[in-house]
Amino acid sequence: MCLAFPARVLTLQDAAMATVDIGGVRKEISLGLLEGVKAGDYVMVHVGYALSRIDEEEARKTLALFAEMERRFGEDGGA
């Protein structure tokens, strides 16, 4: 199973690398699979690669869902 997280692009190092914000955590990722990404865009990130671009509303909905899951189940998965 794969899990990708929405991230907001903060800065571009070049056409192939960017710094993103994933829930308050800054991370460098590869843009090698996408073209035309710019600062302020939202992308879905999996293992350090931007897989697709998404709109801000979809990113916010997905982040809210993750926050709700954490609230309900906590870090231990509800065990």
Per residue in 8-30, pLDDT tens? 999 999 989 999 999 889 999 99
Work out how many domains the chain is built from and give that number: 1
The pLDDT score that the predictor gives to residue 52 is 96
**Regions of the chain with pLDDT less than 50:** none
Q: Are 33 and 50 in contact (CB under 8 A)?
A: yes
Residue 35 lies in a domain: yes
Burial of 29 (0-12, 13-18, 19+ CB in 10 A): buried
The pLDDT score that the predictor gives to residue 23 is 83
The pLDDT score that the predictor gives to residue 70 is 87
Residue 67 lies in a domain: yes
Contact partners, residue 49, CB within 8 Å, separation at least 6: 29, 30, 32, 33
pTM given for the model: 0.84
Residue 52 lies in a domain: yes
Residue 21 lies in a domain: yes
Residue 10 lies in a domain: yes
Task: Identify the CATH number of the domain in which residue 13 sits.
Answer: 2.30.30.140
Domain ranges, residue 40? 5-73
Residue 79 lies in a domain: no
Residue 78 lies in a domain: no
